Structure 1
Amino acid sequence: MEEPPGKTNPVASLTDDILVKILSFLPVRYVCRFKCVSRSWRNLISHPDYRKKLPQTLVGFFYESICGERFPMRANHFTNVTGKGMPFIFPSVSFLPVSCRDLVLLDCCDGLLLCRCFQPGPLVGGELPPFHYAVCNPATEKWVMLPDGSWASDDARTARLCFDRTGSSHFHVIEYVVDENENVTWVDIYSSKTGSWIPVENGWGDDVMLCYRRRSVFLNGFLHAVTFADAIVAVDMEGKTSRTIPTPKENECGFIHRAQDHLCLINVVDDDIFKLSIWTLDDHATIEWTLKHTVSTMRLFGGKRIQIDFDYQVIAMHPEGNMIFFVYGWENTLMAYIMDRREVHVIRNLGHDSSYWDPYLPYVPLFSEAPIDGQ
C-alpha cells in the first residue's frame, strides 16, 4: 500500500537495533504475527543475531524411542511443534562428552536440559551403572557436569531441573529420594552458584508419594510436583520452605504445567472420566483455583470415548496458555487442542516405537550463555 503524497512511514526511519528493542518487550505471540508484516520484518525477526534478543516460545519436544531391532535400542528424537521441517535441535546433543547410547534425557526447564550420563560398562547385579548429571543448553551447546551427590547405589531417585531465565542466572537440580514404599524421605538440592549438593529433610510428612511419570513445574522459586493424594507438594531452592497445595476436589494425580506465569492443573472430571478440566492457581496465598476450561474426549478424538493414561496422555501446555498438547494411540500421534477455538490439530505421528511413558520434554530455546559457563 503506497503512502499518500507528503506522508512518510515513521517505522521506516527506525534502525534494526531499535526495532528489535521494541519487539523484545512484546509477548511472543505478537512477535510471531509480525513476521507476516513484510519480508523484511520476517528476515529481521528470524535473523540469528536478533533472534536471541527476542522473546522465545515453544519450538518442539524431545522424546525417546525403543526398538529391539537396532543398537542401541534407545534413541532420542526431537520433533518441531509444527510437525514439519528439520528438527530445530539435533536430539543426540553430541556436544556432550558421552555416547548417545549412554545418555538419558530427564528434564527440560526454560531452555536448559538435564541429562543422566552413564559410565560405559556392564551392569552389575541389576543396579544402575555409575553416572553423572549434566545440564546443557542445546541452543548454545554449553554444558556443565555436576559433581557426585550423597546417595547410595541402591537409592531410588528422581531428578528435576529448576531454572528461570527471567530471574537468577543460576540453576538448581533436585533429587527426590524415596524409601522402599516409594514415599519421599528427603531431597538433595544442587546449586550451580555453590557448585555443591545439600541434603534436606522431607518437610511434607511421612506418606508423600510422587507421581514420577508426571512432569514438575518450577515457578516463583518453588519446584511443584504432583502426588497420588489430592495435593501438590512444593519446595524452595534452599530447602527451607516446603508447602503442600490442595488441588480442586475433583482432581487427583493430574498433570501440572506452567502457562502465563501461572500453575495449571489438567485432569479428568470426577463424575466423567471422558472429560478434561483445566484449572489455574491464581493466588498461592489463599490457594484459589479457577476452572478455565473443560473439554470432552469425544471432541478431542473424533467421537471416541477414551481414557487418559490408557489411550492418551497430556504432555504439555503452551507457555501462552492457549493450547494443550497430547499424544494418542498406537502410533503415538502428537496432537494439539486450541482451547479458545475448540479445535484439534494433528501435528504428526511419532511412530509406535516412541516411548509412551517416558517424558516428552517441551523445549523453549535460550540463546543466552549466562546460566552455564561451559567446559
Structure 2
Amino acid sequence: MDRGKRPNKFVSSRNNKIYMDLKDVIREHALPFLPAKSLFKAQGVCRDWKLQISTPFFAHNQSLSYHAISGVFCQNPGDPPSFISMDPKSCGVPDPSLKFLPEPIDIRASSNGLICCQGHTGANAYYICNPVTKQWKKLPNTNADHGHDPAVVLVSEPSLLNFVAEYKLICAFPSVEYDNATEFEIYSSSEGAWKVSGEICFASKKLMPRSGVHADGVVYWQAKRHGIVAFDLAKDRSQLIQGYYHHGRNTTLGMMNGKLCNTYANGNSIMVNVLSNIYSNTMQMHSHARTWEETARFSIDSSVLGGINSDLVVVLFVGCNVVLFQIGRKILCYDIKTKETKVMCSAAESDVRCVFLCE
C-alpha cells in the first residue's frame, strides 16, 4: 500500500516542475510581447517578474518584440498635447500632457516609442523623450534655420546587437542660397551633434512640414504641389519621385510592411498604395511597371460620416495595419486585418496635430 502512494508524490513533483517551466516560459518568451502599461502591472505578479522586467536586457528585447500602436498624441493649436490610448486597459502613458518637459512644447514626430517635441521659448530647442519612462534629452541648437513649422522626421530603430537606444532627427529645410531647393540637417545621438548634409535637392519645390516618414533607411516628404522628396540616409543622396497620386490635403504618407505607402481618401473610400518601383519613370515605353500598387481599400459607412461631406475626410496615419482618419471633429481608426472601425476621439480641431506612439 505504501508503495502505491509513492508514484503520486512523484507525479505531484513532476506537476510542480511543469508549472515552474510554464512560469519561466511566460516570463522569458511572452512578457516581451506586452505593451509598456501591461508590463508595469505585471511587475506586481511576483518578485522574479519584477526583476526580469526591470533589466536593461528585457527592455531591449521588448523593443524588438512588441510592434504596435499604443495610441496617439493630439494637440490642438494653443493647447498642450493629450494622449488617446488604443486600449486604455493595456496601453497608456503616465503624463499625457508631457508636463515633465522643462517648457511648453509642440509635438513634432515619433519613432518606436520616442517622441520629438519643440520648445516655445528661446531657440525653440528640440527635445527627444520617452513618454512611458519620462526620460528626455534636450538637443543642441541647430546650424540652420528650420522655420516655425519644421519638416522633421525622427528615426529610432532598435538593433539586435545594440543595447543603446540610438536615434537620428532629420530636417528638410528651404535652402538660403538656392531658390526652390531643399537642404537637409541631421542630428545623430551617437555623435551628439547636428550636421548639414552636402546634398541639395534642386527640384523639390516646397515640402509639407508634417508629411515626413521613414521607411527602410530612406526619409520621404510630400511636396506641396507634386511628387515626393526622398533622402537616403546611408548614401546621403536625394531624389524626386514622380508618378504620385496627389489629392491635396486628403493624402498622407506612411509605412506598410516596411515599405512607403501613399494613402488618400476619394469620396467615401480610402485607398492604400505601396511604393513598388521607384524607377518606373525610367523604364522603356509600353512597360507595365508601376510606381504604386494598391494593397488595401475600404469604404466609410454613411453612419460614420454622419452627414459630413466625404470630401472632407483627412487621412492622418497609416502603419501597423491600421489607418487613422478624421471626419469633422472625430478621429477614427480602421483595422485592416479585422476590418473594424472605432472612434478614437470626438473633439479634435480641424488643424489638430497628431503624433502616433508606436512601441
TM-score by length of 2: 0.73
- Which residue in the other structure is 2:218 paired with? 222
Q: Offset at 1:164?
A: 1.2
1:235 maps to a residue whose letter is F
Which whole-Å CA distance do the structure 1 matches of 2:303 and 2:257 have between them? 23
1:62 maps to a residue whose letter is F
**In the alignment, is the contact (CA less than 8 A) between 1:189 and 1:238 conserved in 2?**
no
Which whole-Å CA distance do the structure 2 matches of 1:211 and 1:150 have between them? 21
Which whole-Å CA distance do the structure 2 matches of 1:85 and 1:207 have between them? 42
- Which residue in the other structure is 1:244 paired with? 240
> Is 1:110 aligned to residue 112 of structure 2?
yes
Q: Report the count of equivalent residues.
A: 319
Q: Offset at 1:14?
A: 1.7
TM-score by length of 1: 0.70
2:26 maps to a residue whose letter is L
- Which residue in the other structure is 1:199 paired with? 196
- Which residue in the other structure is 1:81 paired with? 86
Trace 1:127-138 onto structure 2 (pairs within 5 A): 129-138=122-131
User: 1:306–1:89: structure 2 CA closer, same or farther, 3 Å change rule?
Assistant: farther
- Which residue in the other structure is 1:325 paired with? 324
1:199-222 deviation line (CA, Å, top 9, x unaligned)? 1245432343212243x2222222
**In the alignment, is the contact (CA less than 8 A) between 1:297 and 1:303 conserved in 2?**
no
Which whole-Å CA distance do the structure 1 matches of 2:279 and 2:175 have between them? 31
Q: Offset at 1:315?
A: 1.9
- Which residue in the other structure is 1:369 paired with? none
Structure 2: gaps spanning 5 or more residues: 1-10, 281-289
> Is 1:176 aligned to residue 172 of structure 2?
yes
- Which residue in the other structure is 1:93 paired with? 98
Q: Offset at 1:85?
A: 9.2
Q: Offset at 1:81?
A: 1.4
- Which residue in the other structure is 2:285 paired with? none
- Which residue in the other structure is 1:64 paired with? 75
Which structure carries more helix by proportion?
2
- Which residue in the other structure is 2:295 paired with? 292
In the alignment, which of 23, 30, 44 is matched to residue 23 of structure 1? 30
1:317 maps to a residue whose letter is V
Q: Offset at 1:276?
A: 1.9
Which whole-Å CA distance do the structure 2 matches of 1:113 and 1:156 have between them? 16
2:131 maps to a residue whose letter is P
- Which residue in the other structure is 1:368 paired with? none
Which whole-Å CA distance do the structure 1 matches of 2:309 and 2:330 have between them? 14
User: 1:24–1:315: structure 2 CA closer, same or farther, 3 Å change rule?
Assistant: same
Which whole-Å CA distance do the structure 2 matches of 1:337 and 1:281 have between them? 21
Q: CA RMSD in A?
A: 3.9
SS at match of 1:21: helix
**In the alignment, is the contact (CA less than 8 A) between 1:298 and 1:304 conserved in 2?**
no
- Which residue in the other structure is 1:139 paired with? 132
- Which residue in the other structure is 1:370 paired with? none
Which whole-Å CA distance do the structure 2 matches of 1:86 and 1:20 have between them? 19
- Which residue in the other structure is 1:315 paired with? 316
User: 1:94–1:342: structure 2 CA closer, same or farther, 3 Å change rule?
Assistant: closer
